[in-house]
Amino acid sequence: MPKTRGSTRREVLRLAAAATIGAAGMPALAQSDPAGSYPAKPIRIVVGFGPGGGNDIFARLIGQKLSERLGQPVLVENKPGAGAIIATEYVARAAPDGYTLLVGATGAMTINPAVYTKLSYDTVRDFAPISMIASFPLLLTVNAAAPARTVAELVAYAKANPAKANYASSSAAFQLATELFKMKTGAPLEHIAYKSSGEMLTAVVGGEVLVALADAPPVSGHLKAGKIRALAVTSTKRLAEYPDVPTMAEAGVPDLDVRLWSGLFAPVATPAAIVKKLEGELIEIIKLPDVRERLLGLSVDPAGDTGQAFAQMIAQDLVRWATIAKAANIRLD
């Protein structure tokens, strides 16, 4: 029997309803396990500094291992400038799909909020911490030919030669640490901005600046080559790799214990399953013997903790640096 117009219409409506239900169910099914097919394309790790600095080294080391484990290219993209604010804002506004990540450091994530009244991002509101990569103190460095061989001699030289007394910094972390050093010693050092800790050290080697407080990874090669001299380290104990370099306290500058870190972040709305997958991968990567050997060789302590533990540490750091900046009356804007 031929279908009537009414039965035909009912059939069309039934098929349309089925198609609608199917279409609605498909994203729900996909969303139930967003990490199942992740990653399906290359991942970008954004670094807020130029090539050669500690964060760039960390990103390339981690990126290579992530690529090997996940089966997709992991590209490192350097976006230097404004103490990593440009790169950090960029990732905060990126699509929260796990394909744009940030190697964020203490300066951008917990010190910038303490020293800038207006920031285009909020560390807690805009980011999902994945895992800390490493933590490290800073080394006070001068050119190997500089007249200062100790911290006391450096301070005396700076006071006697204020026109030649300047320091390099590529982020708020280095700048705030150096400003604290100035407060405690009275050294009249003028700030000169650079785009990475690698560039900072190049400036010290080239005699463009007198001094730089820098992270150990880019310092290592210059120290071994005899191009720079380390006068002190901002940790409570001497570094095993540099047993002859005194702590700040031993060098006559007490209460200048500065330890920084770098970690991996995703935009805050990134699916929890993808963040958890990346967390697990990073924890395993940091455990790898060759990765640990590489990090320890750079005078940094491997981390590889959970995102939750990382978030708790960040919360504590935000309070600590805000307190220090307020007490020192340091504002950078």
The reported pLDDT for the residue numbered 32 is 58
pLDDT digits (tens, 9 = 90+) for 185-229: 999 999 999 988 889 999 999 999 999 999 888 898 899 999 999
Of 3.40.50.280, 1.10.3720.10, 1.20.1530.20, 3.40.190.150, the CATH number of 43-136+260-328 is: 3.40.190.150
Taken in order 195, 196, 202, 208, the sign of the CA dihedral is positive
Q: Is 22 exposed, middle or buried (0-12, 13-18, 19+ CB in 10 A)?
A: exposed
The CA-atom distances, in angstroms, between 314 and each of 57, 113, 233, 309, 311 are: 22, 12, 23, 9, 5
Query: Computed from CA positions of residues 278, 51, 223, 108, in that sequence, does the dihedral angle turn out positive or negative?
Result: negative
| Residue-level pLDDT at 16 | 40
* 43-136+260-328 and 137-233 share one fold: yes
Q: Identify any residues that bridge with 135 across adjacent strands, giving them in sequence order.
A: 261, 301
Distance CA 98, CA 156 (A): 51
Quick one: pLDDT at residue 250? Answer: 97
Residues whose CB is less than 8 angstroms from the CB of residue 30 and which lie 6 or more positions away in sequence, other chains included: none
What is the distance between the alpha carbons of residues 101 and 94, in angstroms, rounded to a whole number?
A: 9
pTM for the full predicted model: 0.79
* pLDDT for position 268: 98
Q: If you average pLDDT over every residue of the chain, what do you get?
A: 89
DSSP state, residue 51: T
> Which residue bears the tokens 């400038």?
81
User: Can you count the helices (H) and strands (E) in the chain?
Assistant: 13, 10
CA distance 320 to 305: 20
Residue pair 83/107 in contact by the 8 Å Cβ criterion? yes
Give yes or no for a contact between 48 and 87, defined as CB atoms under 8 angstroms apart.
Answer: yes
CA distance 172 to 115: 8
Q: What is the pLDDT of residue 33?
A: 67
Q: What residues in the chain have per-residue pLDDT under 70?
A: 1-33, 35
Q: What confidence score (pLDDT) does residue 9 get?
A: 45
Q: Which stretches within 169-306 are classed as H helix?
A: 172-185, 197-205, 216-224, 272-287, 289-297
124 Cα distance to chain centroid: 15
Residues 6+ apart with CB under 8 A from 332: 83, 115, 116, 172, 175
- Note the CATH architecture for domain 137-233: 3-Layer(aba) Sandwich (3.40)
Q: Is 140 exposed, middle or buried (0-12, 13-18, 19+ CB in 10 A)?
A: buried
Domain boundaries, the chain: 43-136+260-328, 137-233
